[in-house]
Amino acid sequence: MIDWRATMGTALADAWALVAPVDCAGCGAPDRALCLDCAAALRSRLRGAALPLDSPPALPLVAALAYEGVTRSVVLALKNDGRTELARVLAPPLLAAVEAAWLGSGAEVLVPVPGSRAGAARRGFGPVALILRRAGLVAEPLLRTMAGGPEQKALRLEQRLAAAPRFAAIPRARGRRVLLVDDVITSGATLRAAARALRQAGAEVAGAAAIAATPRRRGASSIPWRFLGDGGEGPGDNEPVEDYREGKEA
């Protein structure tokens, strides 16, 4: 169930982060990987949307957080600065989103959306796969990034819409009903491309879950999200943050 070799690498990094001088990834306060105020900002508030695909049905989406402020800083610190110890604080919101998206979806397997090849080569780990492991979730890498896919973050929104990344699903995807898992949903172009590749390979795509979604901005073509429930109780709560403070494995 658990890839121990991969887990050991990040466990060592985590152990080092507990003794090394680190600053809060959210606000820069010293001596903590994440201060208590910033940990509180990562409390899930689930939101949902329906993403139209090339053909119906639309793809149900769930995200736990708004991609701004502390959430954005923590995700970027993990992805760009190699702060792998932060995977454990991003695991509870991802878990909450996956649970909500999984419920009633009929999905049988979680499939992480792979990043660009350049990103994978640069950081040496897949952020989504790492956070899934931290959340105790088992996923199957049924998608591959094809050569020539653009670096999404380097593109403007309009360019992203036009130039979606290219994925291919491996043959084992045929006949499976999958739930896609990504770190951040912005325009939905990446998820559309991922769903297209899976459908072409004979898989069904039941929905998608993500840690965070970029809030809808006036004038920009983006996804209309709505909050699910009140976000104060149930799967939106982040109890494992308590464990993180103690420096224990959640």
Residue choice 6, 17, 27, 250 for contact with Zn ion (CB under 5 A): 27
Would you say 29 or 157 has its CB closer to Zn ion? 29
Shorter beta-carbon distance to Zn ion: residue 73 or 222: 73
**Contact call for residue 77 and Zn ion (CB under 5 A):** no
Is 35 among the residues that bind Zn ion (CB under 5 A)? yes
Total of chain residues touching Zn ion, rule CB under 5 A: 6
24 binds Zn ion, rule: CB under 5 A: yes
Q: What are phi and psi of 49, to 5 degrees?
A: -160, 170
131 binds Zn ion (CB under 5 A): no
Number of residues written out for the chain = 250
CA distances from 241 to 138, 143, 233 (A): 21, 31, 15
Query: Residue 39, interface with Zn ion (CB under 5 A)?
Result: no
Which of 22, 38, 178, 194 forms a contact with Zn ion (CB under 5 A)? 38
Smallest distance, Zn ion to C-beta of residue 15, A: 21
Report how far residue 79's alpha carbon sits from residue 234's, in angstroms, rounded to the nearest whole number.
Answer: 28
State the nearest-atom distance from the C-beta of 182 to Zn ion, in Å. 25
Return the number of the residue (22 or 193) whose C-beta is nearest Zn ion: 22
CB nearer to Zn ion: pick between 81 and 230: 81
- Non-local CB neighbours of 129 within 8 Å, separated by 6+ positions: 112, 139, 141
Residues 177-196 that bind Zn ion (CB under 5 A): none
Q: How far apart are the first and last CA of the chain?
A: 16
Nearer to Zn ion, 32 or 196 (CB): 32
Distance CA 203, CA 169 (A): 9
Helix %, strand %, coil % for the chain, to 5? 40, 20, 40
* Residue 23 interacts with Zn ion (CB under 5 A): yes or no: no
For Zn ion, give the closer residue by CB, 34 or 201. 34
Which residue is it, tokens 């796969």? Answer: 129
42 contributes a contact to Zn ion by CB under 5 A: no
Q: Is 41 an interacting residue with respect to Zn ion (CB under 5 A)?
A: no
In the complex, least distance from residue 37 CB atom to Zn ion, rounded to whole angstroms: 5
Interaction site with Zn ion (CB under 5 A): 24, 26-27, 29, 35, 38
